[in-house]
Amino acid sequence: MLKNKCVLLGVTGSIAAYKIASLASMLVKQGAIVQVLMTRNATNFINPITFETLTGRKCLVDTFDRNFEFSVEHVSIAKQADVVMIAPASANVIAKLAHGIADDMLTTTVLACRCKKILAPAMNTNMYENPIVQDNLDICRRYGMEVITPATGYLACGDTGAGKMPEPEALFEYIVREVGFEKDLAGKRVLVTAGPTRESIDPVRFITNRSTGKMGYAIARAAALRGARVTLVTGPVNIKPPMFVDMVPVESAREMFEAVTGRSGDQDIIIKAAAVADYRPQTVGAEKIKKADGDMSIALERTDDILGWLGSRQRPGQFLCGFSMETQNMLENSVAKLEKKHVDMIVANNLKVAGAGFGTDTNIVTLITRDGVKELPILSKEEVAHRLLSEIIRRQGGGASQETP
């Protein structure tokens, strides 16, 4: 994913500077070459030795440091960088970048970089909302820099408001999106469904299934990191939503049907990974159904067939992919589903096979198309997502593509 990618981290004078140690560690673990540059003020919040220990590289602070290899240091580093992230980005350094001031190692190096630059402002709310700071951020954007919107919350100064630097995990996602994957889905619109649906019995009870949404969320994240414009229609789940996707939360099968069919027309790829209920109660109680002596039965009716609807209205060039969760006769049932629904691919798996199914971090799937069957080994759901997308791209005429993160 980030193997041998050179990431330049610029750390400025903010209390949030200590969080960048975690980010540097995360990047190194993914195989990135991490070069940290600090302003003098930043060294008051975290010692450069911390970064040197984590990255195995000298942390640069002084433009005129004589303890380096013979080269024009800031230029040589700038040439190596695949992406620059300045986090935390203080109001002072933002102003310098906006106006081309290069008076220390960090700003001199960044000015020499031709790669993408990402800024993560971190400061007091009043400073962040100051029109001068906002004007400087707009200038940075005009020069092609990406500005991450600060989080809102309790700040070190005691105020509550905008200006809090996002957590390292979020910053990591920005870097991965920029340099982690080939953008072989750039310009494509991808719609993914994920999670279960809930079919109400009364205001208290509902019918659902064991889907956690992990597979669908992994597909949505992978597509976004590969450049697609992603819409994720999701049932109720308890996992963190992926970044860089348009979230459409729904609850019932009917709501999912309306959300998908209302957006399907302009999608290039639709991947239906959600476990949608096949049946719902014919009537929903307005009040809680009280317990009574004897048995109880609930009359059920079919829900809308989303995949069948999509298959009957597929536009030229659109790729439709459905999922098939089986407990027996997986291949036969999934091939039948492929033909009946008129889709391009079915991703099949067997709930009873160890390492596959709901709630796991791995999956074992078989990709079924009209011209063949491809069985994948046990993989993480992230790896399955990328292998699936690569196969779809190949079949859409995109040629050879990346297969694993």
Give the pLDDT confidence score for residue 289 in this predicted structure: 93
The predicted model gives 257-265 an average pLDDT of 97
pLDDT, one tens digit per residue, over 191-216 is: 999 999 999 999 999 999 999 999 99
- How far apart (Å, rounded) are the C-alpha atoms in residues 212 and 386? 19
- pLDDT of residue 188 exceeding 70, the answer is yes
pLDDT, one tens digit per residue, over 214-244 is: 999 999 999 999 999 999 999 999 999 999 9
pLDDT, one tens digit per residue, over 334-352 is: 999 999 999 999 999 998 8
Q: If DSSP codes are grouped into helix, strand and coil, which group holds residue 267?
A: coil
Amino acid occupying residue 15: I
Give me the count of residues in the chain: 405
The predicted model gives 28-36 an average pLDDT of 97
Give the pLDDT confidence score for residue 71 in this predicted structure: 47
Chain centroid to CA 316: 28
Give the pLDDT confidence score for residue 383 in this predicted structure: 97
Tokens of 171: 């910053």
- How far apart (Å, rounded) are the C-alpha atoms in residues 156 and 112? 33
Pick the CATH number of 189-395 from 3.40.1360.10, 3.40.50.10300, 3.40.50.620, 3.40.50.12780: 3.40.50.10300
Give the pLDDT confidence score for residue 160 in this predicted structure: 85
- How far apart (Å, rounded) are the C-alpha atoms in residues 337 and 150? 46
pLDDT: which is higher, 387 or 359: 387
Give the pLDDT confidence score for residue 67 in this predicted structure: 56
High-pLDDT (> 90) share of the chain, %? 88
The predicted model gives 82-109 an average pLDDT of 96
Helices 168-179, 20-29: crossing angle, 10 deg rounding: 40
Amino acid occupying residue 88: P
Give the pLDDT confidence score for residue 70 in this predicted structure: 42
pLDDT, one tens digit per residue, over 56-76 is: 999 999 876 645 554 445 578
Answer whether 6-179 and 189-395 agree in fold: yes
- How far apart (Å, rounded) are the C-alpha atoms in residues 403 and 30? 17
What is the average pLDDT value for the chain, to the nearest integer? 94
CA distances from 51 to 8, 55, 118, 316 (A): 12, 6, 19, 52
Buried b (16+ CB within 10 A) or exposed e, 205-214: ebbebebbbb
The predicted model gives 134-158 an average pLDDT of 93
Domain ranges of the chain: 6-179, 189-395
- How far apart (Å, rounded) are the C-alpha atoms in residues 12 and 43? 8
Q: Would you place residue 150 in the very low, low, confident or very high pLDDT band (cuts 50, 70, 90)? A: very high
Buried b (16+ CB within 10 A) or exposed e, 258-267: ebbeebbeeb
Say whether 113 is catalytic: no
Helices 168-179, 214-225: crossing angle, 10 deg rounding: 60
Cβ contacts of 140-146, under 8 Å, gap ≥ 24: 140/94, 140/97, 140/98, 143/98, 144/116, 144/117, 145/97, 145/117, 145/118, 145/119, 146/116, 146/117, 146/118, 146/119, 146/174
- pLDDT of residue 399 exceeding 60, the answer is no
Give the pLDDT confidence score for residue 1 in this predicted structure: 86
Q: What angle do CA 23, 25, 30 make, to 5 degrees?
A: 100
Specify the range with the lowest mean pLDDT, choosing from 28-32, 47-51, 351-355.
351-355
CATH code for the part of the protein at 6-179: 3.40.50.1950
Of 6, 59, 115, 157, the active-site residue reads: 157
Place of tokens 């993160």: 405
Helices 381-395, 214-225: crossing angle, 10 deg rounding: 60
- How far apart (Å, rounded) are the C-alpha atoms in residues 278 and 305? 8
- pLDDT of residue 400 exceeding 50, the answer is no
- pLDDT of residue 403 exceeding 80, the answer is no
pLDDT, one tens digit per residue, over 303-312 is: 999 999 999 9
Helix then strand then coil, in percent of the chain rounded to 5, is 35, 25, 40
- pLDDT of residue 182 exceeding 90, the answer is yes
- pLDDT of residue 10 exceeding 80, the answer is yes
| Cα Dmax for the chain | 89
CB atoms within 10 A of CB 349: 22
Tokens of 124: 């007091």
